Amino acid sequence: MSLGRWLRNRPRGLEILYRRTHRLFIRFDPLIARLGYERIDRWLRPGEELGKKIVFDCRMCGQCILHSTGMTCPMTCPKNLRNGPCGGVRANGHCEVKPDMKCIWVEAFERSRKMTLYGDEMLHIQIPVNRQLEGSSAWINMLTGVDTQPPPGWVNLPDIPVLHKS
């Protein structure tokens, strides 16, 4: 078993680490803003990419939602799905595209059940991934808020009209 998988199977520790790191970034946001988000992005990116690659097999989408997906990277799904599995999960819980691989959404759900802080965020609906953010630091995108903005042309979640049956 790889080190990354071993760590991912301990999501409780990872979510605590995430919360502490998140608080740290929020605390230092004024300083980061003063130094310039773009500059700090450049400094941060290599370390973020390396660390998250080892632990989560990160693809640097720039819109990290790991804590809402059982500390399991949704971009490792062959279809890059960010709102749960497709209809093709096999009876043994494996992927329809890669039969040897367990569906990452099965793993995400199992891990989320071990998470007391963010586990229920599995039920949150995620906005479509904005490919323009690919390769940038998700931490900086979190601070600037660009990671919660839908890509241009997409309707924001609260603006989706709800259909009522008469």
DSSP secondary-structure letter at 78? T
Q: What is the DSSP string of 6-48?
A: HHHT-HHHHHHHHHHHHHHHHHTHHHHHHH-HHHHHHHHHHHH
CB nearer ligand SF4, residue 42 or residue 90: 42
Q: At its nearest, how many Å lie between ligand SF4 and the CB of residue 76?
A: 7
CB nearer ligand SF4, residue 50 or residue 155: 50
| Contact positions vs ligand SF4 (CB under 6 A) | 52, 56, 58-61, 64-66, 73-75, 138
Q: Taking a C-beta distance cutoff of 8 angstroms, is the pair 70, 115 a contact?
A: yes
CB nearer ligand SF4, residue 90 or residue 97: 97
Q: At its nearest, how many Å lie between ligand SF4 and the CB of residue 77?
A: 10
Q: Which of 110, 105, 118 is CA-nearest to residue 9? A: 110
Q: At its nearest, how many Å lie between ligand SF4 and the CB of residue 82?
A: 8
